[in-house]
Amino acid sequence: MKDEKLNYIVENSLGNIAQFVSFVNNKPNYIHINNHNNKNKTIKLLVEELLYSSKSHSVNIRSYREGSTKGHKLIYGLRIENIDEIINIIEKNSRENFVSIVNETIDVNDGGVSGVVMGNLIEFSPKDTPKAVEKEGVCSLPKEVGFYILEKVYGFKPEINFDENYRVEFSIHPNKEGVLKEHTIIWEYEKLQGSSTEKRIIWPNNFSKFLGDKVFGLLLLDSLGFDVPYATVVNRNVAPFYFGKKTGSFEKWIRTSPIEKEAGKYFTGKGWVDPFILMNEEEKKGKKDINIASLLSQDAVEGIYSGASIITKDESIVEGVKGQGDNFMVGRKSIEKLPTEILNKLEELNKKIRKYYSYLGDISIEWVCDNEKVWLVQMNQLKKYYGKDIIVEGNPRYYKKFYTSQGLESLRNEIENIKDKNIGIELIGNIGITSHFGDLLRQANIPSKIKRID
């Protein structure tokens, strides 16, 4: 039975569980309330003791029949004023031969995540229970990558002491919770046969939106061992954290990380500015109540060359300019011919990234090359790649010409005007397909191509 399995976790030091009391035939079966174990109390007194012991002063009720872990719908968030209702539910379950498990409510909105570890896969979402894996938007990662990222964000790895033959439902929390007052809670486990799986990482997902698209992409690159400039992240949902490698520069860039990628819309700049004023001003640019998930303070790179690349299963496109690449990305600087030495470095990097194609799929990266190495400053997943001059393939009624000298915001407005009208866009200008002009059109899925000026 489920309550027996929860008891087994604690008794065999396999992890931490939420405080709970289970009832069979109106009698307490297992009691884990801060190590309390007095079965002689009434149902009411035991439930009251659990309510007072819980940080949330709230409980959930799960019910199951012997031989099956499937039961009634979870009843969530009952408080001391609901004590009569709680007792009635327990007594009704008993009459219908259900076991009742009354456990403390642990806030799913505390900044943590909940999910499942199975084989070499971890899936999770913020602001939800482990049932999140049955919903859209769950973050799916190779277990090693997921544990690395969670440790960077929270400062600790999930404490899951089961081998890869088990499916384990868990949650992690910024504050200590449960019977053992630790950061990981185990909710359920079951042994499986052949549980090894591999799944492509897809974002945006609920966790990437929680951190911000830019932060999530950089954390992925960092977890895979690539050179990402050291960054401190100030996020809306979790305490500040850091990741990446020191570049050797004491200069900083301040970068916004919107919930979902909106190419070239929000501020990125060298040097420190008041982050509170910045957030107040930048949020006004968005259409939602909250548009930016995080701010990054990131080490500068003494860029000799900068640019962007598209990396697919079989080929790469590399574009860039001498010096810093911010003007190139927004179309204010034309693509330049890169030295052979720089191209060789980038091709070597692209081959290393391509080894993770089964995880990442087709991607675009933004890079900065100093005297020693190539640093990665952004990564985005591409839905589809069509070639060097085709941004998005399609058969529109016609292609409307758009001169890149008009700027990104004008293109953003043009996209809004032609959306759902089966009109394509032909970009006119010496910009890169990897620039934010291409990003905008790819995101909007507008049939589009580039015509470069001789």
Total structural domains in the chain? 5
Q: Domain check: are 69 and 139 in the same one? A: no
Assigned domain for 202 exists:
no
Stretch 262-267: mean pLDDT: 87
pLDDT tens-place string over residues 410-453? 898 999 999 889 999 998 887 767 777 888 888 888 999 888 77
By CB atoms closer than 10 A (0-12, 13-18, 19+), residue 398 is: exposed
Q: Decide if 200 is inside a domain.
A: no
- Around Cβ 95, how many Cβ atoms within 10 Å? 9
> pLDDT confidence of 65, banded at 50, 70, 90?
confident
Neighbours of 420 (CB within 10 A): 5
**For a pLDDT cut of 70, what percent of the chain falls above it?**
93
pLDDT in tens, 10-53: 999 999 999 999 999 999 999 999 867 667 789 999 999 999 99
Q: How is 105-130 classified by DSSP, letter by letter?
A: ---TTSS-EEEEEETTEEEEEESS-G
275 and 320, same domain (yes or no): no
Pairing status of strand 98-104 against strand 20-24: antiparallel
**Residue 201 belongs to a domain:** no
Q: Which residues of 302-336 are buried (b: 16+ CB within 10 A; e: fewer)?
A: ebebbbbbbbbeeebbbbbbbebbbebbbbebebe
Same domain, 292 and 309: no
Task: For residue 422, tell me if it sits in a domain.
Answer: yes
Mean pLDDT of the chain: 90
pLDDT exceeds 60 at position 134: yes
CATH of the domain at 372: 3.30.470
Nearest CA among 306, 265, 305 for reference residue 283: 265
Whether 106 has a pLDDT exceeding 90, the answer reads: yes
Contact present, 237 and 111 (Cβ < 8 Å): yes
- Rounded to whole angstroms, the Cα distance separating 324 from 375 reads 12
Q: What is the pLDDT of residue 387?
A: 66
Among 381, 410, 429, give the residue marking a domain's end: 381
Domain contains 276:
yes
Band (384; pLDDT cuts 50, 70, 90): confident
- Please report which residue ranges of 355-446 form alpha helices under DSSP H: 357-360, 408-418, 436-444
End-of-domain residue from the set 263, 296, 329: 296
Asked, for residue 4, whether it belongs to a domain, the answer is no
- Give the Cα separation of 275 and 277 in Å (integer): 6
Is the pLDDT score of 83 beyond 90? yes
Mean pLDDT, residues 334-355? 92
Question: Which of 70-74, 313-317, 434-438 is least confident?
Answer: 70-74
Helix residue ranges per DSSP H, 35-178 = 43-53, 83-95, 143-154
Same-domain pairing of 281 and 329: no
Same domain, yes or no, for 186 and 120? yes
CA pair distance 57, 391, nearest whole angstrom: 55
Residue 37 to residue 271: CA distance in whole angstroms: 59
Residues 268 and 345 reside in one and the same domain: no
pTM (2 d.p.)? 0.86
Residue 275 confidence (pLDDT): 94
Assess if residue 226 is contained within a domain: yes
Sign of CA dihedral 323, 328, 333, 334: positive
Do 87 and 40 share a structural domain? yes
pLDDT score of 76 more than 80: yes
Same structural domain for residues 222 and 145? no
Would the pLDDT of 401 be above 70?
yes
Q: Are residues 100 and 118 in the same domain?
A: no
Q: Residue 421: CB partners within 8 Å, gap ≥ 6? A: 397
Domain C-terminal end among 346, 362, 381: 381
Check the CA dihedral 158-163-165-168 and report its sign: negative
Cα 208 from Cα 138, distance rounded (Å): 10
What does the DSSP 8-state code read for residue 337? Answer: P
Residue 223 pLDDT greater than 60, yes or no: yes
Tell me, yes or no, whether 312 and 335 share the same domain. yes
- Tell me: cis bond preceding 142? Omega within 30 of 0 counts: no
Asked whether residue 181 is domain-assigned, the answer is yes
Which domain does 232 fall in, by range?
Answer: 207-296
Residue 335, helix vs strand vs coil = coil
Give me the phi and psi of 351, to 5 degrees please. -65, -40
Going by pLDDT thresholds of 50, 70 and 90, the confidence category of residue 243 is very high
Q: 83 and 45 in one domain?
A: yes
**Pick the residue with more confidence: 222 or 76?**
222
DSSP 386: -
Q: Are residues 409 and 352 in the same domain?
A: no
